[in-house]
Structure 1
């Protein structure tokens, strides 16, 4: 042991031990937290905690390098000097604080996402204002910070009383023993950098066991390094021409006319108008509701009566009963809705470079003479929303804090002023305030005779779940049910006020969630946690109807365009749900790594290790059962994802300029 940890390395040994003990406690805490979901078979648990220990060793080896460098090269004659003591006490204190802070952060992240740190945590580093404010509003931060500082001081006191500082300062260890002791940790770092990847922790079909096996800090830096995943490099592929041929054949019907069947493009003309049915151009207000899972609505079995307005609207609209979000974050929903595209691996296109001048649904509205507006109750700088929407022809209405748009973007930006705000939290103004702004801007457009398409992104159904008091019978900040009920209430007030407007009769309302409240589950992709509600209200000449066809978030606006009998140029992957034949029904679901193609209660899941796993999905208990692969199913799944990624990377999603 003296060779591994010579006397000069005594404090280093204490730091290693503290990290491993705390990491084990965190892993056990998460195990207890999701005890009912974890695979508790003895060998699996041994593997879970064994892999976890190895990842912990790899993680702490990176932390060890700076201190090892200091121990290795600090001259022996200065051991215990005032300089040595200042550097050692300060460095050890900062190191312990970082450990406790990261583990504290893991608990808050697990509470929200049921996962170790991932690319979302990396993104949150950029948007510290919203994130810090959200944490402050969601948790008793002064108490937690005080507790964390007490734990740090307690750890320092225990280490001091055990004599670790004293032994370190009174050591007479020479350079050679220090070099020998440092060598294993350097080797571990090199091996970790060259051969260890975070995905190697994914050893089980149970997602919770995989997450337990990971180390949060290691996962964070792995996500930092790997938030771009070019499909062709990481995923199973087929020849590009074959992939395009398969996708175009899936999109081809009596309404589609491809200009050139041999070109690797899906750009085409959609024909929805005939001699009997004439196109109509009502105003369109799209409400994208934050985190609204289908099972919050009574229509889908909820017994808590937290969505009476949406339940009422559902009975008076085109309601899509079997529709699935493509992803697990707002920007992924925005990508799917605006681009009508299957999810691409890595971060959402909304957050990437080269995401301007794309063919979005806004371009279809532009073809019909609409003004396009994006409304957001917070600062649209968050998650790159303003750059994306502004760069694709939308005017911006948000609660700006001074962040400027990209200098190359020419668009109108309107601020939600202080006197227009009745309530605001970390994510922005309450839903009723943003709806009042929408009403005000719609009145202006009506006076000038402009057709308008409004994309409205809500925020109230998001942690910390706070909203104006006295509006509903659930106190603000008490949980998700209250946030859902306030969200529902605000929609009701908005529709009620809109009905008094002269433009109401000529306005269609589309309401859909961006993603579910939670995507966590034990499976690779938890299918049930992608099921969202979507409806189209006040559509002219359309009787209420409930449509049970399996469909995707990307299909809603192509369905609206068909219902309005529009002919238009299209670069969209979505289909008209109403005219779907059984063989056309499918849904795309995914996260930043896994890509799923759902059809006929079967799902093929592609991952970045070039695997294609085929399952039977049981909707009654949401379970996945491995089944033999079907060649045609796999080919179609791969084709859609390969083509969508190819079009983005090779500018096939760009507007076709004359």
Structure 2
């Protein structure tokens, strides 16, 4: 009996270190999860914690199954090969385990700092930021230096520890018998079962692991390596997540019925084309969009926020202000595609970065080009970031002005020239256009209100935080407002101040609706003071701007012209948060469209900014689904391609 056991043990020995490796990583995953529960205990229902850890263990085991598949194969090759082959294989195995171990542990160490900012595990956002090392380095060194130092010190320790442990793996050759192959099949089979972690038709995935209505709980269920790998897979495939489906014809029909636009100009290739008849009948006006970085309604006094924006509040008191404007997403490029093109959000990356949208993609500039306008994008940072420069120049913007075009800026921070420098440059450009008698449109994108809040030292003093950055952004906006009012072209220009998104989409809801609430106010161009209380969306901006400027056009966007709302208009907004969508109505009805064909009906309390259970409404469910599915269909079918 002892001899039999000894023989079996000798055949299992080549795989022993992999078992230790797996158990060690499982323990580390659990440790980070425990820390996460401790940090977020105030927003977590403790009754969900046992299931959180159980599902988390399934995620970890599944991930380890994929990680260990190659080492299991290498261990088998090593133990049945002569030394001349076995040693190189051993070295390859050690190197693989070292690199994967470092990557896994690094990602877990990054988890809590990342969750603090984005309320989720490292995902697509994490990957996209890696494309811009200079911006990310500046952000980390100026805003998160302590975390960088701690993580790097820990990683040095991890590297040394793993190196010493992996050196102990020895070349062991066992007699080539049928038992060797039987053990390999057993170990390989267990690895396969672990990776699949399900006997269902489809293998285990993060959608199956998610069980809570609390996004923090679902984030902690995952591990960061698995989350990142899922994002890579999604980016490579660029496929829609599995929602309840509608036929394309039904989607178009629902959208048309819901909006009630004049679709007589629509075609089979562009079924959302509709006619915009401008409400302004006088001389055509210039257009300026001031896109404020990360300025959520929570900071705006006029919107019952934190009273950090006296200058924006003043603009609200003098212009046409929207009390219930909602962003389509939580990223700048999502805001850009909505504000400039009226494009509904998708689970995939913004059209600003997608291949089919790099040329002839409908936006405000493409309409204005036909009307003789000069269009520009003005940004204080590097315009290549998030592919903005290529997108704008490929889609009828005449000029991109960025940091490289600023002469002696007053202050340059991590994300570029200060907002004061930006507005000075914008005024210089507007003055030049006006002196030439050239009608113009400009998208002016601020950046000072962005982590690490690297703003003008004379304003910030020793305090560099979100509140100070908001105050500075508002201060710079106020200076611009007072200066531009004195310009001769002020009365001939429609201005819009609107945020791209809130600072952080934070909360324990599946979709933190209150963090999609943003400011939006029009001024100049004969615009009188009034307030609009309907729920509206960033996708309504393009039509509204064109209408105010006196430009009629044929457009593919299904946003509204807010100057000419239909009788009985029932406001709505479309929100996208990672793989979740929401459709919000004037009365607070909230339909959430979730992966795995789930739909949730809720009620949003605008006063308390909270979400509660709501009544099932099958008609609204189909409408919400139609808007959730429209963006991806519009992109793939080319609804917005105007040539």
Distance in 2 (alpha carbons) for counterparts of 1:65 and 1:137? 40
SS of corresponding position for 1:632: helix
Distance in 1 (alpha carbons) for counterparts of 2:477 and 2:43? 35
In the TM superposition, what are the counterparts of 1:561-640 in structure 2 within 5 Å?
Answer: 561-580=546-565, 581-599=567-585, 600-640=587-627
Question: Does 1:416 pair with 2:417?
Answer: no
Classify 1:396/1:28 alpha carbon distance in 2 versus 1 (closer, same or farther; 3 Å): farther
Classify 1:298/1:90 alpha carbon distance in 2 versus 1 (closer, same or farther; 3 Å): same
Distance in 2 (alpha carbons) for counterparts of 1:151 and 1:570? 58
CA drift of 1:593 comes to 1.8
Alpha-carbon contact 1:475-1:482 (below 8 Å) kept: no
Distance in 2 (alpha carbons) for counterparts of 1:327 and 1:206? 18
CA drift of 1:52 comes to 0.4
Q: What is the match of residue 73 of structure 2?
A: 69
Q: What is the match of residue 143 of structure 1?
A: 149
Q: What is the match of residue 410 of structure 1?
A: none
SS of corresponding position for 2:603: strand
Alpha-carbon contact 2:76-2:184 (below 8 Å) kept: yes
CA drift of 1:296 comes to 0.3
Question: Does 1:39 pair with 2:45?
Answer: yes
Q: What is the match of residue 418 of structure 2?
A: 430
- What is the total number of aligned residue pairs between the two structures? 624
CA drift of 1:25 comes to 1.6
Question: Does 1:330 pair with 2:332?
Answer: yes
CA drift of 1:373 comes to 0.7
In the TM superposition, what are the counterparts of 1:151-162 in structure 2 within 5 Å?
Answer: 151-152=157-158, 155-156=161-162
Distance in 2 (alpha carbons) for counterparts of 1:645 and 1:64? 36
Classify 1:625/1:285 alpha carbon distance in 2 versus 1 (closer, same or farther; 3 Å): same
> Which shifted more, 29-38 or 1-10?
1-10
TM-score by length of 2: 0.88
Distance in 1 (alpha carbons) for counterparts of 2:330 and 2:212? 21
Q: What is the match of residue 493 of structure 1?
A: 479
Alpha-carbon contact 2:514-2:610 (below 8 Å) kept: no
Q: What is the match of residue 531 of structure 2?
A: 546
Q: What is the match of residue 508 of structure 2?
A: 522
Question: Does 1:293 pair with 2:266?
Answer: no
Distance in 1 (alpha carbons) for counterparts of 2:415 and 2:17? 43
Alpha-carbon contact 1:257-1:270 (below 8 Å) kept: no
Alpha-carbon contact 1:241-1:264 (below 8 Å) kept: no
In the TM superposition, what are the counterparts of 1:55-134 in structure 2 within 5 Å?
Answer: 55-75=59-79, 78=83, 92-134=97-139
Question: Does 1:344 pair with 2:346?
Answer: yes
Alpha-carbon contact 2:72-2:187 (below 8 Å) kept: no
Alpha-carbon contact 1:376-1:456 (below 8 Å) kept: yes
Distance in 2 (alpha carbons) for counterparts of 1:496 and 1:327? 31
CA drift of 1:312 comes to 1.5
SS of corresponding position for 2:534: coil
Distance in 2 (alpha carbons) for counterparts of 1:590 and 1:424? 33
Which of these residues, 472, 479, 504, is aligned with residue 465 of structure 2? 479
> Which shifted more, 183-192 or 10-19?
183-192
> Which shifted more, 507-516 or 636-645?
636-645
Q: Name structure 1 gaps, 5 residues minimum.
A: 401-414
Distance in 1 (alpha carbons) for counterparts of 2:253 and 2:510? 29
SS of corresponding position for 1:625: strand
Q: What is the match of residue 170 of structure 2?
A: 169
Question: Does 1:377 pair with 2:377?
Answer: no
Alpha-carbon contact 1:11-1:165 (below 8 Å) kept: no
Classify 1:3/1:169 alpha carbon distance in 2 versus 1 (closer, same or farther; 3 Å): same
After superposition, what is the alpha-carbon deviation per residue over 1:334-358, rounded to whole angstroms, capped at 9, x for unaligned? 1111221321232212121110202
Q: Name structure 2 gaps, 5 residues minimum.
A: none
> Which shifted more, 524-533 or 364-373?
364-373
CA drift of 1:601 comes to 0.8
Alpha-carbon contact 2:330-2:577 (below 8 Å) kept: yes
After superposition, what is the alpha-carbon deviation per residue over 1:182-201, rounded to whole angstroms, capped at 9, x for unaligned? 44124433568961222112
Classify 1:262/1:48 alpha carbon distance in 2 versus 1 (closer, same or farther; 3 Å): same
Distance in 1 (alpha carbons) for counterparts of 2:9 and 2:477? 68
SS of corresponding position for 1:346: coil
CA drift of 1:112 comes to 1.5
After superposition, what is the alpha-carbon deviation per residue over 1:356-406, rounded to whole angstroms, capped at 9, x for unaligned? 202212233234332111122222222121222111101342447xxxxxx
CA drift of 1:262 comes to 8.5
CA drift of 1:145 comes to 4.8
Question: Does 1:185 pair with 2:213?
Answer: no
Question: Does 1:234 pair with 2:220?
Answer: no
CA drift of 1:259 comes to 3.0
Alpha-carbon contact 2:266-2:273 (below 8 Å) kept: no
CA drift of 1:220 comes to 0.8
Classify 1:493/1:155 alpha carbon distance in 2 versus 1 (closer, same or farther; 3 Å): same
Distance in 2 (alpha carbons) for counterparts of 1:508 and 1:199? 45
CA drift of 1:45 comes to 1.3
Alpha-carbon contact 1:516-1:531 (below 8 Å) kept: yes
CA drift of 1:272 comes to 3.4
